[in-house]
Structure formats: C-alpha cells, structure tokens
Structure 1
Amino acid sequence: MSLPMTVPEPGLPERVTIYEVGARDGLQNEAAIIPVEVKAELVRRLLAAGLPAVEATSFVHPRWVPQLADAEQLMTALHDQIGDAGRDLPVLVPNERGLDRALALGLRHVAIFGSATETFAQKNLNRGLDEQYAMFEPVVARARDAGLDVRAYVSMCFGDPWEGPVPIDQVVAAGRRLLDLGAGQLSIGDTIGVGTAGHVTALVGAFVEAGVPVERLALHFHDTYGQALSNVQAGLRAGVTTYDASAGGLGGCPYAKSATGNLATEDLVWLLDGLGVEHGVDLAALVQTSTWLAGHLGRPSPSAVVRALAGQ
C-alpha cells in the first residue's frame, strides 16, 4: 500500500488524538436502516484499527433520528462482544432522558451537542440559544456526579445556512458556557464546511485569549468546500491536538441540508503521516473497514484516500 513521504513541519504537535464519529455522525443520515450487527462490526473494526475514541451512537428519540433507534441494542451487543471496554465508548445524550439511558447501561463517556446560533438551536434542539444551557446544565451535573466524562460539541461555529457568517465572539461565548457547565472538552464544529484556514487560526486564538486552554479544544470539520485538511493544518499550527473524523468521510447533520460529509478519517491519517505527526491508527485496516462499509451502503466511499488505496 502506498504511503506518503514524511516531511515534518517544525512546531506542530508530536501526537494527536483522532476522535472517530463515523458510527454515530457518519451513519445518522442514512435513509436505509443499517442492521445492528453491521454497526457493531463497524465499531469493533474501528477499535481494532487503533482509533482511541469511537463514538458509538446517540440516545436521541427515534422519531428524530430513526437510524439510531437501536442505541440500547447496539451498546448491549458491544458489551457482550468486547466486554467492559464497551462501557468506555462515548455516546451522545441530547437531554436528561438520553443520560438516563446511558446511565442505565453503565456507560462512562457522554457528549452533549449545542449550537452557536439561535436558528440552529431552535431547529436542532427546539430551544433558543440561551435556553439550551438550561437543558444541558442538569445533564452535565448529573453525569459528572456519576463519575462520567463529558464532552461538548458546539455547532455552526464558522457559518450557519440561515444566519450566514457567525461572529467569532459569539462562538467563543457559546463554547465557554458549555465548558463552564462542566464539560471537559469542547469540539468546535464547522457544520456546513465553510471555514477556511485563517478563520480557524483566528477562532482558536480567540478561545485561548478568552482563557480556554488549547488542550481542551477539539476541531470538527466538514469537507463541503474541500477545505477540511487545510483547516486541520491550521489547527495543528495553533496547537490543537484532537480532531474529529468519520471513517470513509460519511455523515452530515439531519437538520442542516448543507452539512455534507465529515472529514474522512483516512484523509486525515494520510495528512498526519505526511507531516510526521503520530496518531496510532492503522491506515490499511481503516481503508479495509471503509471499503467493507461502502459495500453495505451500496456506494463508493467519499474518502479520496479510500478510493485511491482500495484499488491497489
């Protein structure tokens, strides 16, 4: 299998963490229901490829995301198959009811999903921009009291399809409020993929200037306009060491039609290998997994690296 020539860039982090969202964010938009056995196999394959964090599902109401209606069944199957390690797989919990379901299964890592804009908060959460924090506060407090790790996503950080460009200070204010609730990490999302490298640099810098350690930040890019890898490089230069990605480049947001595919994990790994940044992921195993999944979905992988390597 071809690999990129490694040419390190001075000043970049020596190692990063890839936070894999393919099993949740990647599959949630699929119209045809995917069997729970396929989802469980996907998670197992992703873990075997060396990904340290694999977000497995969301405890959202099935009416809103039918693809994830099998959340309990999936997590139970994974616990049966991989033992106690299944409890360490992160899951999304949109509210206290979702947290109750996660706690009932003894899970240890949960995430909440907030918005930096009023319109998307209304469409995604049925709450206003300020009202969302009242919903999240008891979720985070109860999770922390139970000893769980809590991650927070903040979406629409670079642009909103209804409101247009989102002011940087508005994003920082929204993100800080989520961190102040008790979240340990904040994932900054370019939900519709409109961000560019300079915008990434400015936004990360604004968070740091506002007192948020760069170690608590993650970046979540979509490749709608082909900017995801350029944005990752800007994030690396700014010192960010956690990046969300989706195996095969699958995914998008069901509440924002312009939110097309996530950054492909394989494309991210190729970039990191070329820069000499360690990540611990087996690219060959990952390509095999995405090729296998594409067969189940009945279409080629959107990932450029998967397409390039799968035929070798």
Structure 2
Amino acid sequence: MSNRPDIHISEVGPRDGLQSLRQTMATPAKLAWIDALHAAGLREIEVGSFVPAALLPQLADSAELVRHARGLAGLTVLALVPNLRGAQAALAAGVHKLTLPLSVSAAHSLANVRRTPAQMLEELRSVAALRRERAPGVGLEVGLSTAFGCTLQGRVDEDEVIRLAVQAAAAGADEVGLSDTSGMADPAQVRRLFTRLRAELGARAGAAHLHNTRGLGLANCLAAFDVGVRSFDASLAGLGGCPYAPGASGNVVTEDLVFMFEAMGLRTGVDLERLLAARAPLRAGLPGEPLYGMLAEAGLPKGFVAQQAAGHV
C-alpha cells in the first residue's frame, strides 16, 4: 500500500492562468488562492514567473509568492524562468523547482523570449550550470512549447520536437515535457509524440501541459495517460494562455481533470470539494473574470466517492 498518488497534478494557474489577463490580481488575493489550492491537496504549484515587471506586471510579485508558498507543508514551489537572470532571481527567492520554456517553433521563440531555440538551449546550459553550483537540490524542468503546432508558424515537425527534447535533456534538464501552447493538439498526435518522448528519455520524459482551446484538453490528457504519462499541468477554472501565441486560450481545467482521473479509480491526492471551494478566492481576486469548468457547473455526481486507497496503476 502506497500513499503516493497515481496521478501527479501541477497547478499552474497562479502563473499561466494570470499572465494573459488584463487585470492584475492583488498579492493578498493570490496568497489566499495559493493557500486554498494547497488546502485542497495540490502539492506542486507554479506560483509565478521571474520576468521583468515591465513585460508581465501581473507577475511582478513572484518573489513574495515564493517566500509565502515555501511555508506551506509538503508543497513543491515552482516558478518559470526564461533566462539565466530569471533563474538567479528565482533561486534567491527560494524556489524548489525551475521550469524553463523552450519553443520548438522559431517564430514563437522569438516572439516569446526574443531568442531562437538554439539560443535557448545555450541559456538552458547556463541555468543548469548555475543550479549545479548554487542549488543542486533544486529541480530543473523544460517544457517544449508549441510542441503540437504554432499559431505563428503553423505545423511543427515532430522529428524536431524529439530532437530538441533530447538536446534539452543533454543540456541539463531533469525532465522534458511537451506543451500544447496554442491548443492545436489532437489525441492521436499526443499519443504519437509522448510515446516517442518516453522511448527517448525514459524517466526524464516530463509532464503533459495541454490547453483546451478547441475543446480537446481532457481527451488529450487521456491520450497521454494511455501511453504512460502520469504528470499533468492544469489551471484552476481553466484560466491561461500565452500572450505571444495569438488565439491561444485556457489550460485544462484542474477540477475537471482531477474529477476525470478520480472517476476512473485513480488517486490524485486532491480533495475535489476543497478544490471547487478554491474558486471562491480566485473569483474574489479577479472580479468579473470568466471562470470555466464543467464540474463547477454540474457538481459532483450523487454518491461519488473519491479514491482513498493505494494506487491502481
């Protein structure tokens, strides 16, 4: 009997969910939201991004959020860093894990971080060296952005996705996941790419970061699960999107994703009633902002029992 969940959910709402919104959520409201997410059982939260405040004022308080989140028991505090300077600031704040975005699409990479994919690989090597020198216990993951297609470039070559994943692992990433930045993926493509990624990287194949732009978010998560993926990014109420991927909209809804897996008999370690309650501080902190999710509208089915037993996988 193991207490380890069958499915690992990384909540990315406080970063990915907020970065594209016009309004800025006040810091006290963010802290209350993060506390509610933790109380629901989420044990990895991407609390912010260490980018210049002039570019993303919505995330200017990331260091304060990291310091607060470090006080929450059992929580892995994650932050996005686009470069070496961001990694230095994140490590100084005390993050437990760094995530670095590496676009497969050259057009998106230049729009998002003003560097080519090759230049971002060099940045990754610098961040990995910094991590080894200053904080060897801190995790370093890479998310391959636009792995399933790009609104700027169009089709993305699947062979290039796998080549870049292998190069990112060689450059020092502990894990390399695939991100559907613009919501262009379909289940067959998800199965294909994650099968190839896992064959190449084994245990270093990372999370599925999938969007629901065209309504295929949960179907794509299930496709990834079918080929062995057990780690998923999601955002409470489906908030999210990339400011530099026109037409890209929200992430997979955390509540709906947790419900799907729990209904399948798989443990996520997340309390669904408390997770639904975590929408209240989000709504209070973002008045008027649309919140998404089918479970929040329909409610839990009568007689539904969450999974408490050891893993079924």
TM-score (norm 1): 0.89
From 202, 205, 209, the equivalent of 1:213 is: 202
From 15, 39, 45, the equivalent of 1:48 is: 39
Counterpart in the other structure of 2:114? 126
List per-residue Cα deviations over 1:107-154 (Å, max 9, x = no partner): 321111110111011111101121111122111221133211111111
Q: Which amino acid aligns with 1:272?
A: F
1:223 aligns to 2:217 (yes or no):
no
Gaps of 5+ in 1: 1-13
Counterpart in the other structure of 2:152? 162
Decide whether the 8 Å contact of 1:116 with 1:175 is kept in 2. no
1:252 aligns to 2:235 (yes or no):
no
Decide whether the 8 Å contact of 1:141 with 1:181 is kept in 2. no
Q: Which amino acid aligns with 2:282?
A: L
List per-residue Cα deviations over 1:155-178 (Å, max 9, x = no partner): 001111121121111111112221
Question: Residue 209 of structure 2: SS of its match in structure 1?
Answer: strand
Structure 1 residue 224: deviation in Å? 0.7
1:195 aligns to 2:185 (yes or no):
yes
Question: Residue 130 of structure 1: SS of its match in structure 2?
Answer: helix
List per-residue Cα deviations over 1:203-241 (Å, max 9, x = no partner): 1122234x2115632101100111111111111110001
TM-score (norm 2): 0.89
Decide whether the 8 Å contact of 1:204 with 1:214 is kept in 2. no
Which whole-Å CA distance do the structure 1 matches of 2:160 and 2:10 have between them?
A: 25
Aligned-pair Cα RMSD in Å? 2.0
From 57, 60, 65, the equivalent of 1:69 is: 60
Decide whether the 8 Å contact of 1:59 with 1:94 is kept in 2. yes
Q: Which amino acid aligns with 2:212?
A: D
More off after superposition, 165-174 vs 211-220: 211-220
Counterpart in the other structure of 2:124? 136
Gaps of 5+ in 2: 303-313
Residues matched between the structures, number: 295
Decide whether the 8 Å contact of 1:291 with 1:306 is kept in 2. no
Runs of 4+, deviation exceeding 3 Å: 76-79, 83-86
Counterpart in the other structure of 1:171? 161
Q: Which amino acid aligns with 1:33?
A: T
Q: Which amino acid aligns with 2:87?
A: L
Which whole-Å CA distance do the structure 1 matches of 2:293 and 2:283 have between them?
A: 11
Decide whether the 8 Å contact of 2:258 with 2:272 is kept in 1. yes
